[in-house]
């Protein structure tokens, strides 16, 4: 599983240049989940200046677009908290 987290981290760092990026493998909480197809469940907390002025939906789309290839197999479910730097300080 750490390889998947490393892959997610590299991709998001390249695309979003985050100032903070936390990734948690949450797969153990979904053991036996029907339809998982071997993919994992992950939580992502990301702070990026690229989110400034963008809606929550736009931010989530940016994360999903960045991870599109991994979503085809390595990632089954993704929980996202996406903040701009000015929001993360709150």
Q: What is the distance between the terminal CA atoms of the chain, rounded to a whole angstrom?
A: 32
Domain that holds residue 78: 2-88
Q: Give the mean pLDDT of the chain.
A: 87
What's the CATH number where 72 sits? 3.30.300.90
Give the helix/strand (H/E) hosting 21.
strand 20-25
> Quick check: 56 and 82 in contact, CB under 8 A?
yes
Structural domain count, the chain: 1
Q: What is the pLDDT of residues 24-60, one digit of tens each?
A: 998 755 555 554 455 588 999 999 999 999 999 999 9
Alpha-carbon distance of 47 to 49, in angstroms, equals: 7
Alpha-carbon distance of 59 to 56, in angstroms, equals: 5
**The two three-digit tokens of residue 71, written as one number:** 């979503």
């Amino acid at each position: 599983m750490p390889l998947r987290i490393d892959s997610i981290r590299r991709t998001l760092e390249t695309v979003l240049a985050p100032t903070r990026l936390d990734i948690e493998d949450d797969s153990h909480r979904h053991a036996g989940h029907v339809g998982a197809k071997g993919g994992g469940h992950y939580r992502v907390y990301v702070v990026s200046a690229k989110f400034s002025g963008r809606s929550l939906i736009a931010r989530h789309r940016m994360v999903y677009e960045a991870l599109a290839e991994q979503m085809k197999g390595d990632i089954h479910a993704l929980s996202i908290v996406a903040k701009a730097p000015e929001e993360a300080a709150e």
